[in-house]
Amino acid sequence: MSLASRRTLVTGGTVVSTTGATPMDVLVEGERIAALLAPGAGEGFTVDATIDAAGMYVLPGGVDVHTHMQLPFGGTEASDTFETGTRAAVWGGTTTIVDFAVQRAGEVVQESLAAWHEKAAGNCAIDYGFHMILGGVDDDALKAMDHLAEHEGISSFKLFMAYPGVFLSDDGQILRAMQQASGNGSTIMMHAENGSAIDVLVSQALARGDVDPVHHGLTRPSAMEGEAVNRAIALAEVAGDTPLYIVHVSASQAVERIAEARSQGRNVFAETCPQYLYLTLEDHLGAPGFEGAKYVCSTPLRSRHESHAADLWKGLRTDDLAVVSTDHCPFCFKDQKELGRGNFAKIPNGMGGVEHRMDLIHQGVVDGELSLQRWVETCSTTPARMFGMYPRKGVLAPGSDADIVVYDPKGTTRISAETHHMAIDYSAFEGFELTGAVRTVMSRGTVVLDRGVYSGRPGHGRFLKRGPSQYLR
Ligand code: URP
Ligand code: ZN
Ligand code: ZN
Ligand code: ZN
C-alpha cells in the first residue's frame, strides 16, 4: 500500500476548532484530511491504522510564525538548528513554523534567501516557510520584495526600528518598504522599539556602571515600544494602509495603540509570546547575579508592578492580539549568554520556547484567561490565515494537510531543561507544571510523535510557498 493511500482514523476525540468543540472522528487519507465524521460513523471503513483519541482534544497542529533557527545574531548563532528546532516543535504539538531568512545591508535579497533555503532544506521535521528580514532597504531590496511575493512564496517582510547599525531601518526606509508592500500585497512585520533612544539609554547605563542583565529591560522602556508602534501605524497609514503586523508585543502602551488603530478599521495586527504572559522584569530578568541573562530578549520582559501581562491576555481575548508565536531564538547560558557578563548590551537577545507554546497557552484556558476555541485560533488557525497558509494549515477540514495534534487535557507537562528537546542548556520556564499534554502528533498524515516516542525525521518537512495574508478586509 502506498503512503498516498494510507488511511488512518482518529476516533473518539473532541475536535476543537475556532468555532467549537465537537465529538467527531477524523479520517486521514495519505497526507490530507479526507473527512470529519459523526462519532462512530467510520466504524465500517477499511483503514490501515486507528488512533484512539477517547477523552482527548483533536486539534489542527500548532503554527508558530516566529522562529529563528540557527540565526547568526549578537556575535553568535541561535543554538537550535532547523533539525533540532523542528523536532522540539513536534514534541510541543507545533507542526508548522515560519522562520526568518535574513538580508543584511549590502546583501542581495535573493542570495540571502538562497542561503536560508540551504540551511533548512532536508533538515526540517515539519513544514516550514520563511519571512524575509530586510536589514538593508534600498532600490534593489524593494524590487526583490515584488519578486519574492510573486514567485518565491514569501509574502511578509520584517523590518526593525531597533538595533542601529545591525538591522535598523530609518523612517524613510520603512515608508518605502511599506509602499512597496502596499503595491504587491505583502505584509510588513515590525520590530517596534526606538533603537536610537535605546542606544542612548544603554550608553548612559553602562557609563554609570549598571551592567547587570536587568538593565537590558530598564533601558528599553515600555513607552518606547508604544512610541514605535504608534510611528509604525502612522507610516503604514501614509503608505496606503499597508498590512502591518507588530511582532513580539510586550507592553500595555503597544496594545493600546494597536487596539485604537484596529477600532478605526485599519489593517493592523499583532502577536505576543508566552514569555510576556508569564515572566517579568523583576522575577526573571532581575534574578540575582548573571542569572537574568537567560531572560534577555527584545522587546524585553515587563514589570509585574504594571498591567502589561493582564493587558496582553485581554488583547488575546479581544483579538487586538491575534496570534501567539514564540520568537524562539535560543542561546545557551554557559557559552553564549556569557558573552555579556559585565555588559548587558552584549548578551545575545533571545529565548527558546518553540516546544512549549501550545501547553503554555492551554494553561491560559485552564486559568480562565482564554476560551478553548481561542487557544486553537491564536496558536494555529489565525497564524495560518495571517500568513497565507490557510486552509492547507490551521484547520481540520477535508482537503487540509493532516497536521493533527491529539491533546490530553488532563495530562501534565513539567517543563525542564533536563527533559526538553530544544538544543539549549536552560529553560526560561524551568519548573512550570502545566495542565495538559501533547499525546500524538501527525505531520501531513505521518505520525511523528506518540506517547513520548518520537518518529519524525529530518527532511519530512517541506518548504511552504505562502500567499498573501487572508486576514485583510
Ligand atoms: O530578542 C529577540 N527577540 N531575538 C530575536 C530577534 C528578534 O528581534 O525577533
Ligand atoms: Zn527567484
Ligand atoms: Zn524582533
Ligand atoms: Zn524574532
Task: Report residue 100 CA to chain centroid gap.
Answer: 11
Residue of the nearest CA to atom 2 in ligand 1?
350
**How many CA atoms does the CB half-sphere of 423 hold within 13 Å?**
17
Average pLDDT for 309-337: 98
> What type of residue is 7?
R
Quote the pLDDT of residue 462.
98
| pLDDT per position as a tens digit, 29-88 | 999 999 999 999 999 999 999 999 999 999 999 999 999 999 999 999 999 999 999 999
The ligand 1 atom nearest the CA atom of 163:
8
Torsion of CA 375, 305, 426, 77, to 10 degrees: 90
- CB of 191 closer than 6 angstroms to any ligand 1 atom: yes
For every residue of 253-308, DSSP letters joined together read: HHHHHHHHHHHTT-SEEEEE-HHHHH--IIIIIT-TTTGGGGG--SSPP--TTSSH
- CB of 298 closer than 6 angstroms to any ligand 1 atom: yes
Average pLDDT for 241-260: 98
> What type of residue is 441?
V
- CB of 214 closer than 6 angstroms to any ligand 1 atom: no
Length of the chain: 473
Quote the pLDDT of residue 471.
81
From 156, 295, 329, give the residue whose CB has the most ligand 1 atoms within 8 Å, as the site to mutate: 329
3-state DSSP call for residue 339?
helix
Average pLDDT for 376-391: 98
Sheet with 404-414, side-by-side order of all strands: 21-23, 14-16, 57-60, 404-414, 433-443, 446-450, 453-454
- CB of 350 closer than 6 angstroms to any ligand 1 atom: yes
Looking at the chain, the whole-number percentage of residues with pLDDT higher than 70 is 100
Q: How far apart are the first and last CA of the chain?
A: 45
> What type of residue is 463?
F
CA-closest candidate to residue 378, choices 458, 464, 429, 315? 315
Domains and CATH numbers, the chain: 61-386 (3.20.20.140)
pLDDT band at residue 428, thresholds of 50, 70 and 90?
A: very high
Average pLDDT for 416-425: 98
Tell me the C-alpha distance between 270 and 378, whole Å. 11
Residue of the nearest CA to atom 5 in ligand 1?
350
Question: Is the Cβ–Cβ distance between 109 and 141 less than 8 Å?
Answer: yes
Average pLDDT for 460-473: 91
Average pLDDT for 25-32: 98
Contacts of 72 by beta carbon, 8 Å cutoff, 6+ apart: 78, 102
Bridge-based pairing state of the strands 72-73 and 49-52: unpaired
310: pLDDT strictly greater than 80: yes
Calculate helix-pair angle for 252-263, 308-318, nearest 10 degrees: 30
Phi, psi of 418 (to 5 degrees): -65, -30
Residue 157 to residues 70, 172, 191, Cα–Cα distance (Å): 19, 16, 11
Q: How far is the CA of 429 from the centre of ligand 2 (A)?
A: 40
Quote the pLDDT of residue 5.
87
Bridge-based pairing state of the strands 127-134 and 57-60: unpaired
CA-closest candidate to residue 212, choices 353, 347, 306? 347
1: pLDDT strictly greater than 80: no
Mean per-residue pLDDT of the chain: 98
152: pLDDT strictly greater than 70: yes
Q: C-alpha grid cell for residue 158?
A: 520584517
Residue 12 to residues 9, 50, 131, 402, 411, Cα–Cα distance (Å): 10, 10, 38, 17, 17
Quote the pLDDT of residue 473.
59
Q: How far is the CA of 103 from the centre of ligand 3 (A)?
A: 14
Q: Which ligand is nearest to the CA of 67?
A: 4
Looking at the chain, the whole-number percentage of residues with pLDDT higher than 90 is 98
Q: C-alpha grid cell for residue 427?
A: 529553560
